[in-house]
Amino acid sequence: GLAGLVFFGATLAAGLPMFTPEMGAAVAGIGATAGVVTQVFARASKYSLFDPAKEMVYIEMDADEKKQGKAAVDLVGSQIGKSGASWITQAFLLGCGSIAAAMPFTGLIFACVIITWIQATWSLHRQMQQTEQTRLAAAAAASNSGGSSSSSNGDNSGPEGG
C-alpha cells in the first residue's frame, strides 16, 4: 500500500516541470526503489504465506484427489482468475472512461471477492473439522474394537490349554 503510493507518486512527480532533470531522476529512483520493495514483499508473502496455506487444503486427500484438486485449483485459480480480473478491469475502464472513475466499482468487486474468500475459508475450516472429528471417532472405534478382539475367546486349544 504505502510503497505503491510512493512508487506512483514519485513516478508522477518526476515528470513535473518544476524538477530539473537531475531532481526528476532522483525522484524516479525513489519511485523505482519503492516498486522494488513492493515486489519483494509481495513475492515474500506469496511464497511464505499463501502457497503453504494453499497446500494445507490437500493434506486430508489421497493421491488421486490431490492430483485432481491441484489441477483444478491451478487452472481455475491462476488462469481464469487472472484473466477474469483483467477483463473486469478493462470493462470498468471502458465503461467509466478513466481509472479514477472506475476505482469505486473496482473496489466494490474487490470487497465482494474478499468477503466470498473469507466465507469459503470458514466453510473449508468447518469441513476440515468435521472430517477430523469423523477420522478421530473412527480411529477410536477401531482401537476399542481392536482391544476387545485380542481378549480370550474361550478356546483352550493353545499350548497352555491343551
* CA dist., res. 153 & res. 151, Å (int): 6
State mean pLDDT over 56-74: 80
Residue pair 28/19 in contact by the 8 Å Cβ criterion: no
Q: Residue 47's pLDDT is what? A: 81
Sorting pLDDT into bands at 50, 70 and 90, what band is 126?
Answer: very high
pLDDT above 90 covers a percentage of the chain that reads 11
Instruction: Lowest mean pLDDT of 33-47, 99-113, 130-144, 147-161, name the range.
Output: 147-161
Q: Residue 161's pLDDT is what? A: 45
* CA dist., res. 155 & res. 162, Å (int): 10
Higher pLDDT, 58 or 2: 58
State mean pLDDT over 65-85: 80
Sorting pLDDT into bands at 50, 70 and 90, what band is 130?
Answer: very high
Distance of CA 44 to the CA centre of its chain: 13
Higher pLDDT, 1 or 122: 122
Burial code (b: 16+ CB inside 10 Å, e: under 16) for 54-85 equals eeeeeeeeeeeeeeeeeeeeeeeeeeeeeeee
Residue pair 102/95 in contact by the 8 Å Cβ criterion: yes
The pTM for the full model equals 0.49
Report pLDDT digits (tens) over 104-120: 888 888 889 889 989 98
When the pLDDT of each residue in the chain is averaged and rounded to a whole number, the result is 77
* CA dist., res. 102 & res. 81, Å (int): 19
Report pLDDT digits (tens) over 6-60: 666 666 666 666 767 777 677 777 777 877 888 888 888 888 877 777 777 777 7
Residue pair 92/102 in contact by the 8 Å Cβ criterion: yes
